[in-house]
Copies of this chain bind each other. A is one copy, B any other.
Amino acid sequence: MHETRHNLRVDGSRLWAMIQETARFGGTPEGGVDRLTLSATDGQVRDWFRDACEAAGLEIHVDELGTQFALRRGRDMSLAPVACGSHLDTQPTGGRFDGILGTLAGLEVMRTLNDAGIETEAPLMVVNWTNEEGSRFAPATMASAAYAGLYTAEDIRSRRDAAGISVGEALDAIGYRGGEPTGARPIGAFVELHIEQGPILDAEGETIGVVDRCQGVAWYDGTITGFESHAGTTPMPRRRDAQCGLAEIALAAEAIALAHAPSAVATMGEAVIAAPSRNVVPGRIAFTLDIRDPDQGTLDAIDAALRERIAEIGTRRNLAITLDKIWSRAPVVFDASVVSAVESATRGLGLSHRRMVSGAQHDACNLADTVPTAMIFVPCKDGISHNPAESATLADCTAGADVLLQTLVALANAPQAGSTSSVSGIAAKTQSASDPSS
């Protein structure tokens, strides 16, 4: 029976067909997907997912934030389910793979197990987390964060989009305000398959990223106030040029990140001159900084170095500069046992692979606070994501789903699989029921 499982493979073409089929919900002329969370098209893909899961014999449960849990019964229903999944919402200029691959691959794993007649010891579960993207409602990954206890469900339901519609109203509008309290449904372990959304696997020609951590993030809002003056009549020494101050900050952030190579990254993604004019020295600029590193000590060191440099730039240039950390997320180290299970499954399948840090935030990064968690990455072309051009191959998607299949089965059949009371180890079983698979 173990041999059967090790030889088991998903049906890649069936998975691929699901990815293409669901892309019609919010599909764009450019070939991408525009499916904002809790929109009408999100409601359509949720209905499709529910029906497909039920057709595969899974029980669908919906929590009060709309997250869908598709349960496949195990031999021992006292064990907490070993779960996978991701999200089905997209950016307004989203692609066909971000989140979608991990969710539909979970369903494909269940179908594969059904076809092979395989029952696992612990139950399995596929999760479609509400609002991973954060494009319509802030924060991103809100439902998994609430599941992990970072927010209350009431707080999240009160968040409003740009049109003033609350999450609660949007849930009601598509009929996805479930009855189950968020966080109440136990998860024994969680594995999220996702496209890398970065260039490393594609550039290095590797198939699987065994993701053992998720870097921390700090988001900053900054302002620079100098003095608007005439571009022709203001001598250089009399200027208080906000744009030149901004330039120094951008390059300082870059240099500080490089001083913490290779892990740290720094990005000035937004910079807006107030009332810009080609013949006016910019007087006011608002900007953002996004700083990431897998190590909290490095993030703190970067924060301190940035503030020191900004103070010096402000003093020297007679600019008033503010820098507010508006949000941060500490680095997450994924569970060693779940990471090891992913790595073993990958080796068993003979796939090229490497350990990786998740550069992006994912639902798994929230889950890791309370559930043994890891992630599986597959390459996406040129690292492009959040773009209609987002692209992954059938072969890589299939390989990722195979790793997911093998990992889930191994975890669900492990001697100690399935208890929610364990955080440090993997799902240590709390009751002494015999384990027929061992």
Which of B199, B251, B281, B385 sits near A251, CB closer than 8 Å?
B251
A233→B292 CA distance, assembly (Å): 9
Which of B228, B231, B251, B269 sits near A280, CB closer than 8 Å?
B269
Most B Cβ at <10 Å: residue of A231, A360, A387: A231
A271 at the interface (CB under 8 A from B): yes
**Seed contacts A228-B387, A231-B290, A271-B276; 14 additional CB < 8 Å A-B pairs:** A198-B232, A200-B233, A215-B232, A230-B383, A232-B361, A235-B262, A235-B265, A236-B257, A237-B262, A241-B254, A269-B276, A269-B279, A270-B277, A272-B276
Which of B230, B258, B269 sits near A386, CB closer than 8 Å?
B230
- Given the interface pairs A231-B292, A234-B359, A361-B232, the reply to whether A243 lies near B217 with Cβ below 8 Å is no
Q: How far is the CB of A386 from chain B (nearest CB, A)?
A: 7
- Given the interface pairs A235-B200, A247-B247, A248-B247, the reply to whether A267 lies near B254 with Cβ below 8 Å is no
Specify which chain B residues have a CB less than 8 angstroms from the CB of A262 in the assembled complex: 235-237
Please name the 9 residue pairs, one residue from A and one from B, whose CB atoms are nearest each other, closest first: A198-B233, A233-B359, A247-B247, A232-B359, A231-B267, A247-B250, A278-B288, A270-B276, A269-B278
Specify which chain B residues have a CB less than 8 angstroms from the CB of A236 in the assembled complex: 254, 257-258, 261-262, 264-266
Specify which chain B residues have a CB less than 8 angstroms from the CB of A250 in the assembled complex: 243-244, 246-247
A119→B51 CA distance, assembly (Å): 98
**Chain multiplicity (copies):** 2
8 A Cβ contacts from A209-241 to B: 215, 217, 219, 228-238, 241
Q: How far is the CB of A246 from chain B (nearest CB, A)?
A: 7
Which of B203, B248, B273, B292 sits near A270, CB closer than 8 Å?
B273
5 chain-A/chain-B pairs, Cβ below 8 angstroms? A217-B232, A229-B383, A232-B361, A234-B265, A269-B281
Specify which chain B residues have a CB less than 8 angstroms from the CB of A237 in the assembled complex: 261-262
Which of B196, B232, B235, B360 sits near A360, CB closer than 8 Å?
B232
A282 at the interface (CB under 8 A from B): yes
Specify which chain B residues have a CB less than 8 angstroms from the CB of A269 in the assembled complex: 231, 243, 273, 276-282
Specify which chain B residues have a CB less than 8 angstroms from the CB of A306 in the assembled complex: none
- Given the interface pairs A235-B200, A247-B251, the reply to whether A386 lies near B280 with Cβ below 8 Å is yes
Q: How far is the CB of A84 from chain B (nearest CB, A)?
A: 21
A197 at the interface (CB under 8 A from B): yes
A384 at the interface (CB under 8 A from B): yes
A52 at the interface (CB under 8 A from B): no
